[in-house]
Amino acid sequence: MSKPKVGFFGLTSCAGDQLMVLNCEDELLKIAGEFEICEFTMAISGHYDGNLDVAFVEGIVAHEKDLKTLEDVRKRSKILVAFGTCAAYGGLPSMEGKFDFNASLKKVYGEETDFLKKLGTRRASPIDRFVKVDFVLPGCPVERDEFLITLASLRKGTLPEFFRRPLCCECKEKENVCLITEEGEVCCGPLTNSGCGARCPSLGSPCAGCRGPLEEIHFDAKAKVYETMGMPLEKVVEKMKNFSAPAWVVSGMEGK
């Protein structure tokens, strides 16, 4: 079997997911040995325009160049992976979904925004708004273990099946006391994808929702809980929207 051809692409992002790949120091040589890494925005200079077996795409579409890159990568790739919460759900850059786009532009860049028009600056969006996504690896950044499991599966000619439960399950398996019921914190655990081992709540910090919303989220229940805790509902929505604003818009929850 020939080595699968893979590429790592960074659209507008902090490049944290690509950095996570480079942080797999113990496995890097094995990765390089078993895959042909054709492109890597952060680690390889030069350009490759042949076909790929797998493309890992990090970041959001924030301007026309992002979109061109994304569409080009899609055309050349058999499997396209939304790599990290930005690509999958919009992530932190899409937080602006909570504000008025043009007003935000002016606030940041002042009155001279013509150059932004030339760049084709647009409202930040996750990649599934433009192209078909075959697989999602959420996380801010992506979990190292989940990335390596994905590579191992790809090497076997398949994609892994991650069992996504509400984060609460991993939190309870760690025997943490609930930060919602016991501490009155705004914790996004019940709405968020598991897979991080409830890292933040295990350290006493409520879940920020960085792994994005579960396939089925239950907004009304969440609303009721926080009402009884005497917390304004907007606070919860705002917190969830930090990492996944566009996903909430699609779910029809934006106005609530």
Residues forming contacts to other proteins in the complex (CB under 8 A) are 26-27, 30-31, 148-149, 151-153, 155-156, 160-166, 168-169, 172-173, 175-178, 180-182, 189-191, 215-216, 218, 220-222, 224-225, 228
Smallest gap from Cβ 35 to other proteins, in A, equals 10
Of the pair 225, 249, the CB lying nearest other proteins is at 225
Smallest gap from Cβ 3 to other proteins, in A, equals 14
Residue 117 CA: distances (Å) to CA of 46, 67, 122, 205:
28, 15, 9, 40
Q: Distance (Å, rounded) from C-alpha 107 to C-alpha 158?
A: 47
Q: What is the DSSP string of 96-150?
A: GGGS-HHHHHHHHH-S--HHHHHHT----B-GGGTS---EEE-BTTB-HHHHHHH
Of the pair 124, 187, the CB lying nearest other proteins is at 187
Smallest gap from Cβ 102 to other proteins, in A, equals 37
Q: Distance (Å, rounded) from C-alpha 173 to C-alpha 184?
A: 20
Of the pair 5, 123, the CB lying nearest other proteins is at 5
Of the pair 70, 186, the CB lying nearest other proteins is at 186
Of the pair 61, 253, the CB lying nearest other proteins is at 253
- Nearest Cα residue to 82 out of 37, 153, 25, 146: 146
Residue 102 CA: distances (Å) to CA of 91, 143, 255:
19, 34, 20
Smallest gap from Cβ 245 to other proteins, in A, equals 21
Q: Distance (Å, rounded) from C-alpha 79 to C-alpha 29?
A: 23
Residue identified by tokens 């001279």 is 112
Smallest gap from Cβ 194 to other proteins, in A, equals 10
In three-state secondary structure terms, 12 is strand
The amino acid at 160: P
Smallest gap from Cβ 133 to other proteins, in A, equals 18
Of the pair 27, 134, the CB lying nearest other proteins is at 27
